[in-house]
Structure 1
Amino acid sequence: MSCKYEQRKDVISVSGRKILLNNQPYLIQGICYHPVPKGTNKRDFGNIDEDLNLMTEAGINTIRVYEPIDDWQVLDKIDAAGIKVIIGFGYNQGGKNDILSGTFIDYVKKYKSHNAILMWELGNEYNYHPEWFNNDIKTWYKAMNDAANLIHKNDTNHLTTTAHGELPDSLALSMGKNIDVWGMNVYRWDNPDKIYKQWEEVSTKPMYLSEGGGDSYMLIAKAGYEKGVNELAQADANYKILKSVFSNDDVCSGITLFSFTDGWWKAGNNNQQDIGGWAPNSSGVPYDGSPNEEFWGIVDIDRKKKKTFEIVKKMYNK
C-alpha cells in the first residue's frame, strides 16, 4: 500500500456554480475512461502509462471512471500525471464497492486521502432505468442522496456528484439535495447550448457534462458525411460540442468527453470491432442518431490517434 498520499495536498470545494481546486475555479477538461483490451470484457490498466502520456498530450486534466480503481499504484500514476479522477459507484455491483450493500463507503474511507480524487460519483443514467428499482425511481434517488450524505460525513475534502441522463427533473433535484455537482450525460446532436440556460433555471449548483461527444462510424450517410468509418464526423461533432462547453464556462464546469479508447466488448465479438450497440436516449448522437458503441474512442483500441484527438488537444490546450 502506498503511504505517499497520507497528507492531502489539494483542496476541492464549491463556490456558487464553480468547482474550486485550491480556491481557484477548476474547469474539467476530461475524458471517460474504461480501458478493456481486445478479446475480453474486463477493464484492465495494463496500458496506463501509455494512456496517461496520451492524455497529458491532449491536455486532459480529469478522467471519469465507471467503477472504482482499487489500486494505489494506478491512482499514484494518475496523480503524478497531474490528472484528477471522478470515481463512479454503481448501485448493485455484487456487494463490492457498491451503494446497495453500503460497501462504497469503505472505498471512500480507504482512498479519501489520495490526491488524485476529485469527486465521488453516484450512479450513471439510472433515471433511464426505473425497472432496476421496482419501477419506482424514487428508490434510486433516496439511495443516491443517502449515499451522498454518508460520504459527506466521512470525507469533507471531496465533492459528491452523479451522472444523470439529461437535465434532472424536479423530483431528482428535490430528492438529491446532497449532490454537490450535477453531471449530465447529454447527447443533443453537436450543440448542447440550451442545457446551460435550462440548468440556470432549475438550480444554483455547479454542473458539467459527464458525457457528450460523437462516434466515428456513420450507420447511414447524413449531413454530408459518408456511411461507414468516419473520423471526420466525430472530429467535427466533438469540436462543436467542446466549443459550446467552453463558451459557457460561467455555468458549465466542463466535460468528460466520451470516451478515451474504442470498446470492442460492447456490441458483439470481443475480438473484433463491431457495428451496432444501443444506448438509452441515443437518438441525439451526431450525425446518424446511432451510438455505434464500439467507435467512441479519441484513440482506437491500439492507441492510434483518431482525427478527433487533435481536436481535443487543440481545445484542451488553449
Structure 2
Amino acid sequence: MRKYLTLIIIAFVLVSCENLTQNEVVSVKESHIYVNDTLYTITGICYHPVPKGSPNNRSWSTLTQDLGLMNEAGINTIRVYEPIDDLNVLNEIHNAGIKVIIGFGYNQGGIFDIKSGTFIDYINKYKNHNAILMWELGNEYNYHPEWFKNDIKNWYNEMNAAAELIHTTDPNHPTTTAHGDLPNELALSLSPNIDVWGMNVYRWDNPEPLFKLWKAINSKPMYLSETGGDSYMTITKAGYEQGENQKAQADAAENILKKVFDNQDICSGVTLFSFTDGWWKAGNNDIQDIGGYAPNSTGIPYDGAPNEEYWGIVDINRKKKLVFDVLKEKYLSVNNKKK
C-alpha cells in the first residue's frame, strides 16, 4: 500500500511541475491583449542598460537591481530594442514577474535581424519562454524611407512578410511594431499581419486625441511603445526653468499616463521611455551631455528638445528621479485594479 501511495505522490508532483511550466498563450481579442485569456494591460518601460563609457553595448550587470526597482514601480513589461540571447537573463526577468517585448532590427549584420531572416532563428529558440509577450518588428522605420530605397512601401512589405512567418512559426505570441506616431492608410493596408500596433508618440503631454483617431480607423489593439519627457529643459518655457528639471519630466509623465489609463478601452498600455539615462547617446560617453537627435521630436514636453541622455526614470547610478514615484503611483493603481 505504501508503495502505491508513493507512486501516486510522485505522479501528482510531476503533473504539478508540468502545470507550473506550461507555456503561456498571448492572444489578441476585441482590441485587447490577453495572457492565458486574462486581460493584460502593459505598465511598461523601455530598457537598454548601457553603462558609463560604453559606446552602445548593453550590460546585464545591474539586472537584479534594475528588476527590483521595476517591481517596486509596478512595471510588468520591458521593451528591448534588440533580442536578449541569454537564457539566464530571460529566466531572471520571468522570475521577477515581468514580460518582454523583443525588438528585431532590420539590418543588424545578420545577427537575429529581419534582412537576413535570422530573426526567426531567435524566435524558434525562445518561443516557448514565458518571459515573451510579443515580437516587435522595427522601431520608427517609417521615418527612414532612405533605408529602403527611398520607398517606405518596401519596408511595410518586408515587415508584413516577417510577421506572416512569425505566425506560422509561433502561434502563441502576437506580432507588433513600434511605428512613429499614428500609422497612415498605407502602413495599415500593407501590414495586415501586424497584430498589435505600438506607437512612439510625442505629442507634448496629451496623447488622448490619437486614441480617438485610432478607434475611428482600426479595431486592432494599440499601445504607446514610447512616450514621456526628459529631465532637462533647453530653454525656460511653460513655467519650467532652463537646466536639469526633474519636475518637468515628472509632470509630463503624470499627464501622459493619466490619459493612457483613462482610455483603456482603446489603449492597451504603455512602455514609457526610458528606464535609465543613456550617456552614450550624445557626445562623450563618460559624462552626461545635453543635446542629441531624435526624429520628429518637436512635440517633446516642455521645450521641444529631446536631450537624449536625460530620459531615465532613474539616473545612470540608479538613483530615482521624481518621475519614478509618478510612474509607481500610476502603475500600481492600474495593477491593483486588475486583482
- TM class by shorter chain equals over 0.9
Q: Which amino acid aligns with 1:92?
A: N
Is 1:51 the counterpart of 2:51 in the alignment?
no
Report the counterpart of residue 119 of structure 1 in structure 2. 134
The 5 A counterparts of 1:98-247 are: 98-247=113-262
CA distance, structure 2, for counterparts of residue 218 and residue 77 of structure 1 = 36
Q: Which amino acid aligns with 1:72?
A: L
Report the counterpart of residue 40 of structure 1 in structure 2. 54
CA distance, structure 1, for counterparts of residue 58 and residue 207 of structure 2 = 30
Is 1:269 the counterpart of 2:290 in the alignment?
no
The 5 A counterparts of 1:19-38 are: 19-38=33-52
CA contact (8 A) 1:91 1:99 kept: yes
Higher helix share: 2
Is 1:10 the counterpart of 2:10 in the alignment?
no
- 1:70-126 Cα deviation digits (max 9, x unpaired): 000000000000000000000000000000000000000000000000000000000
**Deviation of residue 305 (structure 1)?**
0.2
**Deviation of residue 281 (structure 1)?**
0.4
CA distance, structure 1, for counterparts of residue 212 and residue 205 of structure 2 = 17
**Deviation of residue 6 (structure 1)?**
11
Give the alignment's TM-score, normalised by structure 1: 0.98
**Deviation of residue 315 (structure 1)?**
0.4
Give the alignment's TM-score, normalised by structure 2: 0.92
Q: Which amino acid aligns with 2:116?
A: S
The 5 A counterparts of 1:72-111 are: 72-111=87-126
CA contact (8 A) 1:245 1:254 kept: yes
Q: Which amino acid aligns with 1:191?
A: N
CA distance, structure 1, for counterparts of residue 19 and residue 225 of structure 2 = 27
Report the counterpart of residue 9 of structure 2 in structure 1. none
CA distance, structure 2, for counterparts of residue 284 and residue 8 of structure 1 = 44
CA distance, structure 2, for counterparts of residue 21 and residue 112 of structure 1 = 14
- 1:170-197 Cα deviation digits (max 9, x unpaired): 0100011000000000000000010111
CA distance, structure 2, for counterparts of residue 5 and residue 110 of structure 1 = 21
Is 1:60 the counterpart of 2:75 in the alignment?
yes
Query: Kindly tell me: are residues 88 and 62 of structure 1, through their superposed partners in 2, closer, same or farther at Cα, counting changes over 3 Å?
Result: same
Q: How many corresponding residue pairs?
A: 315
**Deviation of residue 5 (structure 1)?**
11
CA contact (8 A) 1:6 1:114 kept: no
Q: The residue matched to 2:301 in structure 1 has which SS? A: coil
Report the counterpart of residue 70 of structure 1 in structure 2. 85
Runs of 4+ displaced beyond 2 Å: 4-10
CA contact (8 A) 1:76 1:116 kept: yes
Root mean square deviation of aligned Cα: 1.2
Match of 1:299 among 311, 314, 337: 314
Structure 1's unaligned 5+ residue stretches are none
CA distance, structure 2, for counterparts of residue 260 and residue 95 of structure 1 = 28
Q: Which amino acid aligns with 1:305?
A: K
CA distance, structure 1, for counterparts of residue 102 and residue 63 of structure 2 = 16
Query: Among the aligned pairs, what percent are the same residue?
Result: 68
Query: Kindly tell me: are residues 144 and 6 of structure 1, through their superposed partners in 2, closer, same or farther at Cα, counting changes over 3 Å?
Result: farther
CA contact (8 A) 2:23 2:128 kept: no
More displaced 10-residue stretch of structure 1: 269-278 or 10-19: 10-19
CA distance, structure 2, for counterparts of residue 111 and residue 282 of structure 1 = 34
**Deviation of residue 7 (structure 1)?**
4.9
Q: Which amino acid aligns with 2:40?
A: Y
CA contact (8 A) 1:8 1:113 kept: no
Q: The residue matched to 2:204 in structure 1 has which SS? A: coil
CA distance, structure 2, for counterparts of residue 33 and residue 292 of structure 1 = 17
More displaced 10-residue stretch of structure 1: 99-108 or 41-50: 41-50
Q: Which amino acid aligns with 2:166?
A: I
**Deviation of residue 43 (structure 1)?**
1.1
CA contact (8 A) 1:5 1:113 kept: no
Report the counterpart of residue 285 of structure 1 in structure 2. 300
